[in-house]
Amino acid sequence: MASSLGSRLVACLLNVSEARSKDLVETVAKAALYDSKGVRREGTAVLNIFNDLDYNRSVITIVASIDSIREAVLSACERACGLIDMRTHTGVHPCMGAVDLVPIYPLGEEVGVEDCAQEARAVAQGLAERVQGTSFFLFGWADSPLQRGLAQRRKEMGWFKKTPDVPEIRPDVGPPPQKRFGLTGVGASPYVMNCNVTIDTQDITMGRSIAAAIRESTPGGLPGVQVLALPHEGAVEIACNVESVKGSPPGLVSGGEPWPSFFISGQQYCHAPASLITARVAELAARQGVGTKGTALVGFSPRECRGLAEFALSQGVAEFWRERRRIQM
């Protein structure tokens, strides 16, 4: 694969409010890869589809060059809006939209976060025009000039409430939200990894205390970590959004693993490794006599995402999520 293409790569971790119909979610993923006549979009791949049945939420990892990402994401979102009806949605994970979240992240050195923000704003505007009645709030670099983070914007929109009053929300793009489509967050930032650690208890209060302890905003918390505790498959999941933070890695974590780092437009970023998050949750749970049941990475780390994107696109494997197990890399 030519280095010029790798240097212009971006990723969209598209969050849709459906997981119990695997065919529906794969139909949405394929809409990113093929046009209405079934012709494949060159230079686009879906690396992963992560389905969570309890949450009734799926994350589709779409990768493409910055020049191709808009149409791929727009087409996937348009298909999702036609297939998912929020009036009948149930799931334990907070959500507000049929397409709940559209974050776009730079992977290549020649792509800045501002470039991704421009594409994110274009996706919001384009989908508002293609699917009448869809509504959007902007976050991160797409929320110009304030650049409010996703957690702040979700709080402002009532995303964390048990039953948000969707029609009363004033979106950034589009009309007041309709109950069918709900409200979609669209934004751009340095890569955000999703890391979920399950603790072996049904005590949600304990889960929330652990979540609070590792949250970035807590003294002694982990930089870049935004976290919820949610009931999940008869236990409690500590669900973390792991934001990339500017600067060089702070050093080694327990066990000698360095914080992974990468560059965007010459600026170094790093992120807390999943091993550190897992160890911290396990330590806090053990103090209360509880063990952990496992860790799930929703998609990939930034470095893994770029490496797999380069491989999938160089080999012409559009539906990479299907082929990954049998491909020798």
pLDDT value, residue 148: 97
Residue 15: the pLDDT is 98
Give the pLDDT of residue 324.
Answer: 82
The CATH number given to 192-298 is 3.30.70.670
Instruction: Tell the residue number behind the tokens 């890399």, with chain if given.
Output: 329
CATH topology of domain 3-189+302-323: Formiminotransferase-cyclodeaminase; Chain B, domain 1 (3.30.990)
Q: Can you give the pLDDT at residue 50?
A: 95
Token pair for residue 123?
């996706």
- Backbone angles phi and psi of 222, in degrees to 5: -90, 130
CB of 222 closer than 8 Å to CB of 212: no
**Between vectors from CA 300 to CA 322 and to CA 194, what angle results, nearest 5°?**
120
Q: What is the pTM of this model?
A: 0.94
Total count of residues recorded for the chain: 329
Pairing of strands 44-52, 9-16: unpaired
The closest of 196, 173, 176 to 185, measured between CA atoms, is 173
CA–CA gap between residue 4 and residue 179 (Å, rounded): 43
- Is the CB of residue 221 less than 8 Å from the CB of residue 215? yes
Q: What is the domain partition of the chain in residue ranges?
A: 3-189+302-323, 192-298
Query: In the 8-state DSSP scheme, what is residue 108?
Result: S
Q: Which stretches of the chain score pLDDT less than 70?
A: 1-5, 167, 251-256, 328-329
Q: Which DSSP letter does residue 299 get? A: S
Nearest CA to 156 out of 168, 145, 144 is that of 168
